[in-house]
Amino acid sequence: MRRALELAERGRGLTSPNPMVGAVVAAPGGEIVGEGVHLKAGGPHAEIEALRAAGRYARGATLYVTLEPCAHQGRTPPCTTRIVDAGVARVVAPLVDPNPLVAGRGFEVLRRAAIEVTVGLLAEEAALQNRVFFTAMRERRPHVTLKAAMTLDGKIADAQGASRWITGEPARARAHRCRSEADAIVVGVTTVMRDDPELTVRLGEPWPREPYRVALDTEGRTPPGARFIAAGDPARALVAVGAAAPEERVLPLQAAGATVVRCPTRDGRVDLGFLLGELFRRDVRGVLVEGGGEVHAAFLDAGLVDRVTVFLAPLLVGGRTAPSVVGGGGRELKSAVRLGPLTITPVGDDILLEADVIREPRGA
């Protein structure tokens, strides 16, 4: 199963809206006779690849697969049929697939075909590997990661609004890796106007997927010449405006190729829950929220942040009015957003801090 999880990693950032999946076929003696990985939605599923590689050795073997095999006809035929036909004796998986189209039916089909099914091996590791997919299936909205680069005193820009470059080159490269794993990158209109970001994935190598580039802009103030609109396929540039955004501002954005999504407002600003629903409908499973502080605060206050990823730079900038990583009205310490254990990774001269948001109220 560890080998299967390792194989699944090869699909990181490539499989959405599907999960990452790896599979291994082991002969009765334990020898690996086939391996497979899911690398692209619409492409072959991991278990099919592994069975193909195993050929006749699949008969009587054990199939280790990192997620429940599907039993429905999707873009590819049901995997359960192929598993049964291959004569596999036993299937071991960590988890039930939370996708309502699967949700236990895959295991049921296999058991009915007299295949021994064992569920639960390395379940925690498998759930963490596909945390984006699992959150999206459970909540019926995309998984949201809040991402920022800040100084040691928590500032994301100086008092004049300049934020380039807080972190060094290795951290910026890592940030692009984060983007490559997301299906949509979201920023506030102030960030668009001050920084004019492209919101594209820029790795050393070409990247086959293009996340949506999204601006939160209640009044439609985004300049039609904003770089994120033309930085890639303009149809993947979304401007989320309020229902009352003036038509004379919306039309030039549409003329520039951007997709304008009219959203209801909540407290006078774009309703984030509604926007996430719209993104989910467009097959977005993982969202990266890249600031600024007001937008971070709004997502946190709406209870819509699942994970926090912060690059911490060895700089002190100060300034009463310099924006910090979370703006808004702030909270009392007793109702602070609490995070799970921090993962701490040095990246060049900076430090990457990552943690999941704890959702249960204190003491629950």
The residues carrying an active-site annotation are: 47
What whole-number distance in Å separates Cα of residue 253 and Cα of residue 167?
Answer: 32
State which of positions 131-190 bind ligand NAP (CB under 6 A).
148-149, 156-157, 161, 163, 166, 187-190
Binding-site member from 199, 323, 347, 350 for ligand NAP (CB under 6 A):
323
Count Cα atoms within 13 angstroms, Cβ side, for 226: 34
Q: Report the nearest approach of ligand NAP to the CB of residue 181 (Å).
A: 17
Q: Is 220 in the site for ligand NAP (CB under 6 A)?
A: no
CB of 64: closest distance to ligand NAP in angstroms? 40
DSSP E strand boundaries for the chain: 22-26, 32-37, 62-65, 90-93, 116-119, 143-151, 184-188, 212-216, 237-242, 259-263, 265-266, 269-270, 286-289, 307-313, 343-347, 350-356
- Provide the 10 A C-beta neighbour count for residue 41: 17
Q: Is 260 in the site for ligand NAP (CB under 6 A)?
A: no
Q: Which of 18, 145, 191, 222 binds ligand NAP (CB under 6 A)?
A: 191
Residue 218 makes contact with ligand NAP by CB under 6 A:
yes
Among 185, 272, 304, 317, binds ligand NAP (CB under 6 A): 272
Q: Which is nearer to ligand NAP, 80 or 190 (CB)?
A: 190
Whether the ω angle into residue 165 lies within 30 degrees of 0, i.e. cis, is: yes
Helices (runs of H) and strands (runs of E) counted in the chain: 12, 16
Residue 105 to residue 99: CA distance in whole angstroms: 10
Binder of ligand NAP out of 49, 195, 350, 356 (CB under 6 A): 195
Chosen residue from 93, 115, 171, 216 binding ligand NAP by CB under 6 A = 216
In the bound state with ligand NAP, the residue whose beta carbon lies nearer, of 126 and 295, is 295
**248 vs 146: CA distance, rounded Å:** 32
At closest approach, how far in Å is the CB of 125 from ligand NAP? 30
Count residues near ligand NAP (CB under 6 A).
31
Given the complex with ligand NAP, which of 15 and 163 has the nearer CB atom?
163
Task: Record the tokens describing residue 78, joined without a space.
Answer: 């049901």
Pick 94 or 142: Cβ nearer ligand NAP: 142
Q: How far is the CB of 327 from ligand NAP (least distance, A)?
A: 5
Q: How far apart are CA 150 and CA 175, in angstroms?
A: 13
Q: Among 290, 350, 354, 356, which residue sits at the site for ligand NAP (rule: CB under 6 A)?
A: 290
Q: Is 291 in the site for ligand NAP (CB under 6 A)?
A: yes
**Residue with smallest beta-carbon separation from ligand NAP:** 292
Q: Is 277 in the site for ligand NAP (CB under 6 A)?
A: no
Q: How far is CA 360 from CA 146, 156, 286, 297, 339, in A?
A: 19, 28, 22, 19, 11
Minimal distance, residue 167 CB to ligand NAP, in Å:
8
Structure tokens at 20: 């990452």
**Secondary structure in 3-state letters for 226-265:** CHHHHCCCHHHEEEEEECCCCHHHHHHHHHCCCEEEEECE
Residue 293 contacts ligand NAP per CB under 6 A: yes
Tell me which residue has tokens 């997502």: 299
**Rule CB under 6 A: is residue 295 a binding residue for ligand NAP?**
yes
Q: Which two tokens stand for residue 296?
A: 């971070």
Angle at 312 between CA 307 and CA 313, to 5 degrees: 160
- Shortest Å, Cβ 234 to ligand NAP: 21
What whole-number distance in Å separates Cα of residue 264 and Cα of residue 277? 12
List residues near ligand NAP by CB under 6 A.
148-149, 156-157, 161, 163, 166, 187-191, 194-195, 216-219, 221, 269-270, 272, 290-295, 298, 323, 327
